[in-house]
Structure 1
Amino acid sequence: MRGVRSVDEVGAEERAASLAKRSIKKSSKLWALDLAIRCMDLTTLEGSDTPGKVAALCAKGIRPKPGDATIPSVAAICIYPARVADAKLHLRGSSVRVASVATAFPSGQSFTSVKVAEVKDAVAAGADEVDMVIDRGAYLSGDHEKVYEEIVAVKEACGPAHLKVILETGELGTYDNVRRASILAMAAGADFIKT
């Protein structure tokens, strides 16, 4: 990751603090809230997830506030690969997409072949989007090439599904690591980067 400039941490924090103090006009606030809902993934990632729980989450994603048609649907329902078919069934006919975590979520620490197989299974079950988590251990130990190659392999396994790469920025330790990991993920083919 040579050639990537360092982040001015003090400047970034000052700018964030300045933006946090601004007030937002009501019309802009309503527009921003509407946009936030339409961009949101409604998620359940619990070991106790059942088809019934996924069905309820899908209903909430389609109609976040029953009785108020002015509240838009969310962008996607995010679940484990084993629940993708359940979500696909309950979201049929709606604009809500199905997102599935994969790649040894949440640690990202498994064999690339296992990660790729999990992604292919999720897409075959109907996932429109795949949320991959990078192997932070590999990244932090300096094995950026491994992380890059895994993202490339997962992107290929996604086929038509969008790839969202979760960086787990809280574990990367520095703004510079976040910046470099972001650039690496985008260069490797990520459609989106997250957290």
Structure 2
Amino acid sequence: MFEQLPRNPGTALKLALVEDQRANLSAIERRAASLPARRSLKKEWQAAWLLRAIGLIDLTTLSGDDTPERVRRLCAKARNALREDLCIALGLSEPVHTGAVCVYPTMVATAVKALASTGIPVASVATGFPAGLMPLKLRLEEIRYCVGEGAAEIDIVVNRALIFAQDWPALYDEVRQMRDACGDAHMKTILATGDLKTLRNVARASMVCMMAGADFIKTSTGKEPVNATLPVGLVMTRAIRAYEEETGFMVGFKPAGGISSAKDALVWMAMMKEELGRRWLEPDLFRFGASSLLGDIERQIEHFVTGRYSAAMRHAVA
């Protein structure tokens, strides 16, 4: 077990450090292309990494037709993320659970009740998700509502217009107020990287959000045309490394949107280990934002146990 880390308190805005953030596109693309091309994990090693991946998932439902019953089913799957027969076959002494459950604000109370006494935190999106185009006063009030309903983690979205304008003091001020509104709840700051146009924007916005006190920086809402990509992940993880070198505080990372296969999860985990180290394979520093990923991981683990592939429909998430 790793010791609990001190929470990132944020720092004063250091514009020189923000402006110093660069992104060498060709080098980043070469590095990203090399990650999936390597020899993959096999057999018991793959199964062990996939078990680790389950504990890193923010099991998510963010659909317009969400209902309390759907959320309760999702929470039931989060509590018992791997089928009992597979747990027995692997020699596990207790059920495997996900890192968190992520829902809309109106579903927080339902999820909190369904996960009572499990230790699984409830995360809620907030601040006018997914666009964030609401008055700041209302965005802050939505955060307070989610915290009041019992959310332990808040996934906020930033105002992309401030990034396009390179108005870093205004972005810092908004995110700092959001951090204050979160109180003891941890704040994941969604950059919506698919909207940000350049990797340099991604790097600089990442640094500003960490300076403002983000506990995690997160790639996407899952609603943009392009969501989590390896080049974006490399830029954000290297910003995390630069922030730790500057301040001594470790900040988490959450890729979200488009990560649906066990193979994808292994590539992202390998990147985290190589870029930031083993400590970033724990749920307090790394999460997947995903809905269908768990089903494919369970399918791959069943193949390891039985030697046979089953149909994907046999591994429904909820």
TM-score, shorter chain, exceeding 0.5: yes
Matched, 1:188 2:240: no
Matched, 1:131 2:147: no
Q: Where does residue 168 of structure 1 map in the other structure?
A: 192
Q: Where does residue 123 of structure 2 map in the other structure?
A: 99
Q: Where does residue 10 of structure 1 map in the other structure?
A: 26
- Report how far residue 35 of structure 1 moved: 2.3
Partner AA of 2:66 in structure 1: D
SS of residue matched to 1:78: strand
What RMSD, in angstroms, separates the aligned Cα atoms of the two structures?
1.5
TM (norm. structure 1) is: 0.94
SS of residue matched to 1:193: strand
How many residue pairs end up in the alignment?
195
SS of residue matched to 1:20: coil
Q: Where does residue 142 of structure 1 map in the other structure?
A: 166
Matched, 1:158 2:182: yes
Of structures 1 and 2, the one with the larger relative CO (CA 8 A, separation 6+) is: 2
Partner AA of 1:9 in structure 2: L
In 2, the alpha carbon distance for the partners of 1:194 and 1:86 equals 24
In 1, the alpha carbon distance for the partners of 2:108 and 2:160 equals 26
Q: Where does residue 112 of structure 1 map in the other structure?
A: 136
Partner AA of 1:8 in structure 2: N
Structure 1: give runs of 5+ residues left out of the alignment: none
TM (norm. structure 2) is: 0.59
Partner AA of 2:28 in structure 1: A
SS of residue matched to 2:188: strand
Partner AA of 2:117 in structure 1: G
Cα deviation code 1:104-151 (max 9, x no counterpart): 100011111111100001001000000001111222122322221111
SS of residue matched to 2:124: strand
Moved more, 130-139 or 19-28: 19-28
Change (3 A) 1:5 1:146: closer
Identity %: 41
Partner AA of 1:92 in structure 2: A
In 1, the alpha carbon distance for the partners of 2:204 and 2:196 equals 10
In 1, the alpha carbon distance for the partners of 2:45 and 2:211 equals 33
In 1, the alpha carbon distance for the partners of 2:51 and 2:178 equals 32
Matched, 1:22 2:46: no
In 1, the alpha carbon distance for the partners of 2:21 and 2:175 equals 23
In 1, the alpha carbon distance for the partners of 2:126 and 2:112 equals 17
Aligned with residue 65 of structure 2, among 38, 41, 48: 48
In 2, the alpha carbon distance for the partners of 1:169 and 1:110 equals 19
In 1, the alpha carbon distance for the partners of 2:124 and 2:35 equals 33
Structure 2: give runs of 5+ residues left out of the alignment: 1-14, 220-318
In 2, the alpha carbon distance for the partners of 1:114 and 1:160 equals 20
